[in-house]
Structure 1
Amino acid sequence: MWRSLRFLIILGLAVAATVWLADHPGRVHLEWMGYQMDPPLGLAVLAVFVIGAVMALLYRLWVEMKHAPVALARNRKERKRQKGYDALNRGMVAVAAGDPEEAAQQARRAEELLEEPPLTLLLSAQAAQMNGDDRAAARFFQTMTETQDLEFLGLRGLFNQAINRGDRDEALKLAGRARQLHPGAEWVVNAMFDLQVALGYWDGATDTLKESARLKLVDKTQAKRRQAVILTQQAERAEAGGDMIGALKALKQACDLETDLCPAAIRHARLLVKDGKTRKAVGLIERIWSKMPHPELVELYVVAKSPPDALAKMKSLQGLALHNPTHMESAIAVAEAALEAQLWGEARRYLDPVAAEDPPARVCRLMAELEESQHGDMPKVRAWLSLAATSERDPAWVCQTCGNVQSAWTATCGKCGGFDSLRWQAPPRAKAALTHHEAPLEALPAPEA
């Protein structure tokens, strides 16, 4: 639009000038080297314009010829650069296709053609990794860290190498450097938290968790759960250092943050018993039992109650069972105490309901003990023990990530290192056990009324 408007303005001025010259005729007198000329004014003006145009054209031609070598060199350089970018693109495609030889070849070609080495560093590093040359890849990544625009990318490459070789301390240092460059990068924050947890740096993990929550990388519920787990571990460290007050404080905070964190509740109850605060321990255990019964709580409850004999112990556990009367753990706890007190009928009253259909191994073993103690019926004892071998296994701490089974809870899985991945449950049955599950059932008697 502006170009058209400018053309119209120039055309209008030219027409106006032509009309004005036509309305005001005249002549121009020229004398030069003995020659005289008297052309009309309009012709003289036209001649001036023509001569000016020719001079401008000649000047433009001279400028183009003067700069021709530079322009040719620039064009050659641009073509070379374009070939370098093409090689870079083909190298990236080769990396994606899993072709290490082609990737390495294109990386070398791009490095020769491009006068910007940083552009080829990543491709060269990836090609070296694909060829299994970790040392060469590390050199390329290290060079990238010396270039401002590629430092973050180089640090991530070095970080991944440190993780692959199991050097967690070095990986944590590299993640810290990356965090200084990009504090809000999700992979950096998550990596730092995972490494701090794996290395037992609980104070640092707390700070990183707060940063994750601030950046909304974890929701509030997840952040509370993670903080409760960390507090449980910090309490264990405080107890080991003789700081009983600090340990109790940390465990109380953990239980307040996450009421369903069974390990924190168990440890809290144990420390209360250890500290002589048995009434508080009893109240806490009864509250925990109503939501998440656990065998360790039975032992702590007995210690806190200090019953004088086996009968008193059974009555105490009957009181505990009332807080969750339908749960299997309640029946097992009272039945074990009844067997200890040699109250066979009472033990059977609690065991029969849970032994009636697909009983777990613990119940089968208790039934075998009951049959042997009450009646001395060895065929029934063997039948129950046979069933125990193929029934649901005793509960343990099972990793939800890798399936690892642990007898004691830890914040991280002892096998895969997963954080807060352990849950109290029956481990999966073996395939062989499932195959022969039905055979022992035929030999079992129906539970007595």
Structure 2
Amino acid sequence: MLRAFGFALVAIIVLALVWYVATLPGHVTIDFGHYAATASTPIAILLLAIVVFVGVLIVGIIRALLRSPARLARRRMITRRNNADAASLRALSAMAAGDDRTAGNHARIARQYAPDAPLTLYVAGESARRAGDHEAADAHFAALAQHRDAGFLGWRGLVHHRTQLSGNAAALAEAEAQARQAATAYPNSVWLRDQRVQLALSQSNFADAARLATDKPARAALAIMASRTATSGPLAIDWARDAVRSAPNLAPAYLALYAAHERAGHLWRAQRALVAGWKAAPHPDLATAYLSTIKLPLDRARAAQKLANANPGHPESEALLAQTARAADLAGEAQRHAAKANGVAGARWVCAACETVHPEWQASCRKCGTIGSLAWITPPPDPTTTALLPAPLPAD
């Protein structure tokens, strides 16, 4: 309804203008040298409007002709880019399906249409990496790294490619430098931070790896290694304290603090670190360090009692007292404490990610590579063994 009203209003205004022009009096005369043209005022206005319209039309046609090459080139570029994107997507699909040969063919087609497009550079670099063409992969990823919006993809490709060259120290050093540059392109990347941790760990640069780690178990494990490899005593102590703060229930952290203090000549603080560790996370290695300077069996039993007092009744404390009492020929004490140890002798370092058993603690699992995943675990009692135990005597 409103549209019809508007159209009618416009039509009335146009008709009124036409009527007004048609009723204008007078004539218009134009002289061309010896020639003269005379027309009424309405006819002259109509002719002028026609001349203006034709002039505008001619100018528009000329501008369209001048712009047509650029428009055709732009349309051709858009078509080529669309074809390149389609080929790149087919290449990505082939990679996801594990068909590297088909992916390489589609990547070549994409390069024919748009060799500098970000998506083309990525699939070309990835397909070259999968095919083992390291120079081509580096060239494509390096070109992609210079792109303003997709530069991080190029840096990621370079870092990933370098880390795949296992055993190549020069490639790992280059990957670390490229990872730093990638951090400027995308500083909050979780993948990049984890990758930098792995790169630092692969080069035994535990301090840098610990600084980058955000997961507390991983940071604790790396801090322990940083303390062990520190170049100075105070630095070793700082890293060991960082490990204790990150994982207060991890015995190797206290052992690292003990070793750092002993290295610095702080013997009393070293012993205190072992007692604190036994209180938080009893472990046979803590007891071994605590009793390392005591030779006589009876003296060792007495010292073990002092250490066990930090965590009385714990199965590890009972196992320690039983062991030292047995060595000191205190058979009654050894039997009494052994009965309370609750099978703690079967405890092992086990990876929480893949359940791989390790003979000793290490920063990362030797099987799955997870950092800080090892935990001191006592296996549950074997039900078959429990069934064979004699039944308790009835009370009188």
The TM-score with structure 1 as length reference comes to 0.69
Distance 2:15 2:32 in 1: 31
3-state SS of the aligned residue for 1:255?
Answer: helix
In the alignment, the residues of structure 2 paired with residue 59 and residue 173 of structure 1 have an alpha-carbon distance, to the nearest angstrom, of 59
RMSD after superposition: 4.3
- Equivalent residue in structure 2 for 1:268, among 244, 251, 257: 257
Which residue matches 2:126?
Answer: 126
Residues 207 and 120 of structure 1: CA distance in aligned 2, closer, same or farther (over 3 Å): same
* Aligned-residue offset at 1:25: 1.4
SS at match of 1:28: strand
Whole-Å separation in 2 of the counterparts to 1:409 and 1:44: 103
- 1:91 correspondence with 2:83: no
Cα 1:9–1:317 shift into 2, 3 Å: same
Query: Partners in 2 of 1:298 and 1:446 — Cα distance?
Result: 34
Residue of structure 1 in register with 2:336 after alignment: 349
Query: C-alpha displacement at 1:175, in angstroms?
Result: 1.0
1:182 counterpart = 2:189:
no
Q: Which runs of 5+ in 1 are unaligned?
A: 210-217, 363-393
**Number of the residue aligned with 2:201:** 197
Partners of 2:279 and 2:71 lie apart in 1 by: 86
Contact 1:26 1:41 in 2 (8 A): yes
Q: Specify whether residues 50 and 93 from structure 1 end up closer, same or farther in structure 2 by C-alpha distance, changes over 3 A only.
A: same
Residue of structure 1 in register with 2:157 after alignment: 157
The separation in 2 between residues aligned to 1:58 and 1:280, in whole angstroms, is 96
State the match for 1:335 in structure 2. 322
Residues 263-293 of structure 1, C-alpha deviations (whole Å, 9 max, x = no match): 1213434565687766555554444323321
Aligned counterparts of 1:137 and 1:409: Cα–Cα separation in 2: 39
Identity among equivalent positions (%) equals 27
The alpha-carbon deviation at position 81 of structure 1 amounts to 4.3
Higher mean displacement: 337-346 or 34-43: 34-43
Query: Would you say the 8 A contact 1:396–1:424 is kept in 2?
Result: yes
Report the equivalent of 2:286.
297
CA, structure 1 residues 86+59, in 2 after alignment: closer, same or farther (shift >3 Å)? Answer: same
The aligned counterpart of 2:373 is 421
- Are residues 1:235 and 2:222 paired? no
Q: Which runs of 5+ in 2 are unaligned?
A: none
* Residue number in structure 2 paired with 1:410: 362
Sort the Cα spacing of 1:272 and 1:81 in 2 relative to 1 into closer, same or farther, 3 A: closer
| Shift in Å, 1:192 | 1.4
- Structure 2: which amino acid aligns with 1:288? G
The one-character-per-residue Cα deviations of 1:287-308 (angstroms, maximum 9, x if unpaired) are: 432332111232333346x48x
Mapped to 2, the partners of 1:127 and 1:273 lie a distance apart of 54
Letter in 2 for 1:344: A
Task: Give the SS at the match of 2:39.
Answer: coil
| Alignment partner of 1:438 out of 363, 384, 394 | 384
Aligned counterparts, 1:214-233, within 5 A: 218=214, 222=215, 228-233=220-225
1:169 aligns with 173
CA distance in 1, matches of 2:91, 2:239: 54
Contact 2:349 2:375 in 1 (8 A): yes
Q: Which residue of 1 aligns with 2:349?
A: 397
- SS of 2:46's equivalent in the other structure is helix
1:125-158: CA deviation from partner (whole Å, max 9, x where unpaired): 2333454545543343244345555543222112
For 1:128, the aligned partner's letter is A
Q: Is the 8 A contact 2:211 2:219 kept in 1?
A: no
Distance 1:30 1:401, change over 3 A: closer
1:113–1:8 distance in 2 versus 1, CA, 3 Å: farther
C-alpha distance in structure 2 between counterparts of 1:152 and 1:334, whole Å: 58
Separation in 2 of the partners of 1:67 and 1:268? 76
State whether structure 2 residue 248 is matched by structure 1 residue 259: yes
Query: Which residue identity is paired with 1:412?
Result: S
Q: The residue matched to 1:423 in structure 2 has which SS?
A: strand
When residues 9 and 310 of structure 1 are mapped into structure 2, their CA distance, relative to the original with a 3 A threshold, is same
- Of stretches 54-63 and 177-186 in structure 1, the one that deviates more from structure 2 is 54-63
Asked whether the 8 Å contact 2:254–2:276 carries over to 1, the reply is no
- Residue 310 (structure 1) aligned with residue 256 (structure 2): no
Name the SS for the 1:183 alignment partner. Answer: coil
Contact 1:197 1:419 in 2 (8 A): no
Tell me, yes or no, if the aligned pair for 2:85 and 2:120 is still in contact at 8 Å.
no
Q: TM-score, normalised by structure 2?
A: 0.76
**Of residues 300, 310, 328 in structure 2, which corresponds to 1:323?**
310
CA-to-aligned-CA distance 1:319-363 (integer Å, 9 cap, x gap): 4334333221122111122222222222222223446xxx46x4x
Distance 1:64 1:250 in 2: 73
Distance 1:277 1:82 in 2: 70
- Contact 2:261–2:267 (CA under 8 A) maintained in structure 1: yes
Distance 1:340 1:396 in 2: 23
Determine if contact 2:354/2:368 at 8 Å carries over to the other structure.
yes
- Give the secondary-structure state (helix, strand or coil) at the position aligned to 2:375: strand
Partner deviation per Cα, 1:166-216 (whole Å, 9 max, x = no partner): 24333212212222433333322222123223322234335435xxxxxxx
* Native 8 Å contact 1:104 1:128 kept in 2: yes
CA deviation vs aligned residue, 1:232-268 (integer Å, no higher than 9, x gap): 3333234xx6x55554454345435643232121343
Quick one: distance in 2 between partners of 1:245 and 1:70? 69
Structure 1 residue 76: Cα displacement: 4.8
